[in-house]
């Protein structure tokens, strides 16, 4: 582990700023080690889609602290390939605390009984199947780890390692924020990690089956997500419908 930063202040916003200042020139592993091993971080979970690049953080977790809670949102609209990949990868990495989360059954039956809500209201579908289930799953946690990266573009271009969730006061940790596509590929190759099978079919970013399309050469990595709409995020990184980055409040 790297040299320890000074003890953080109690105020979450000040703590996040101090952590970003301290770790600005550090590697992703150092950031992740802080999140997982420093007691003042509190209870923390990794939220993983088991998508195209998820294996990097999952592998790091398996090396640093294998019993870290891993939250996987099964929207029941995922590709079969994603579900199989999740099972195989969890077993291969020996993850000790995988939590598979679904939408509330009563809510799903009332709001989307035939699973066609995405055709009528994308935001409502993501709220039902992702945002609200994740919020329930994170109850009792002080923070969570994401796999977001600046090179994905859009609202992610200004990501820092640490963020404050303005709605809940939780810390969000983005260990790979500064990584490039080449960094991701190199890590996978050096550690001989299995790729999501849909990547070879032109899916560099993978979400729910009805809302994910292949990406053509030269297109943005997330161009296949909600193609044909203005939507760019599923909602789990939004507060009151607004993308929240470090330093912003809803």
Which residues are catalytically annotated? Answer: 234
The residues pairing with 101 across neighbouring beta strands, listed in sequence order, are 73
How far is it, in rounded angstroms, from Cα 236 to Cα 167? Answer: 12
Q: How far is CA 3 from CA 38, 41, 109, 178, 230, in A?
A: 12, 16, 51, 21, 44
Q: With contact defined as beta carbons under 8 Å apart, do 57 and 47 qualify? A: no
Answer for the pair 105, 132: CB distance below 8 angstroms, yes or no: no
Alpha carbons 198 and 208: distance in angstroms, whole number? 12
Cα separations in angstroms, 225 against 66, 140, 157, 181: 31, 31, 17, 18
């Amino acid at each position: 582990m790297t040299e320890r930063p000074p003890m953080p202040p109690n105020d979450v916003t000040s703590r996040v700023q101090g952590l970003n200042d301290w770790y600005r020139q550090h590697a992703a592993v150092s950031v992740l080690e802080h999140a997982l091993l420093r007691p003042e971080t509190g209870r923390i979970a990794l939220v993983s889609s088991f998508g195209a690049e998820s294996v990097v953080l999952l592998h790091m977790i398996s090396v640093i602290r294998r019993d870290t809670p891993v939250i996987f949102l099964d929207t029941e609209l995922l590709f079969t390939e994603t579900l199989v990949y999740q099972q195989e990868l969890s077993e291969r990495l020996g993850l000790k605390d995988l939590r598979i989360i679904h939408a509330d059954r009563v809510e799903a039956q009332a709001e989307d009984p035939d699973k066609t809500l995405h055709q009528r209201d994308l935001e409502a579908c993501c709220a039902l199947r992702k945002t609200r289930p994740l919020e329930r799953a994170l109850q009792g946690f002080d923070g969570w780890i994401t796999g977001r990266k600046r090179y994905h573009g859009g609202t992610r271009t200004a990501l820092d390692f640490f963020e404050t969730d303005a709605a809940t006061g939780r810390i969000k940790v983005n260990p790979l924020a500064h990584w490039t596509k080449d960094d991701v590929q190199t890590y996978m190759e050096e550690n001989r990690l299995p790729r999501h099978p849909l990547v070879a079919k032109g899916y560099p970013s993978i979400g729910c089956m009805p809302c994910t399309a292949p990406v053509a050469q030269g297109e943005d990595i997330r161009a296949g997500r909600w193609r044909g709409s203005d939507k760019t995020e599923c909602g789990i990184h939004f507060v009151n419908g607004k993308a929240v980055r470090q330093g912003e409040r809803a």
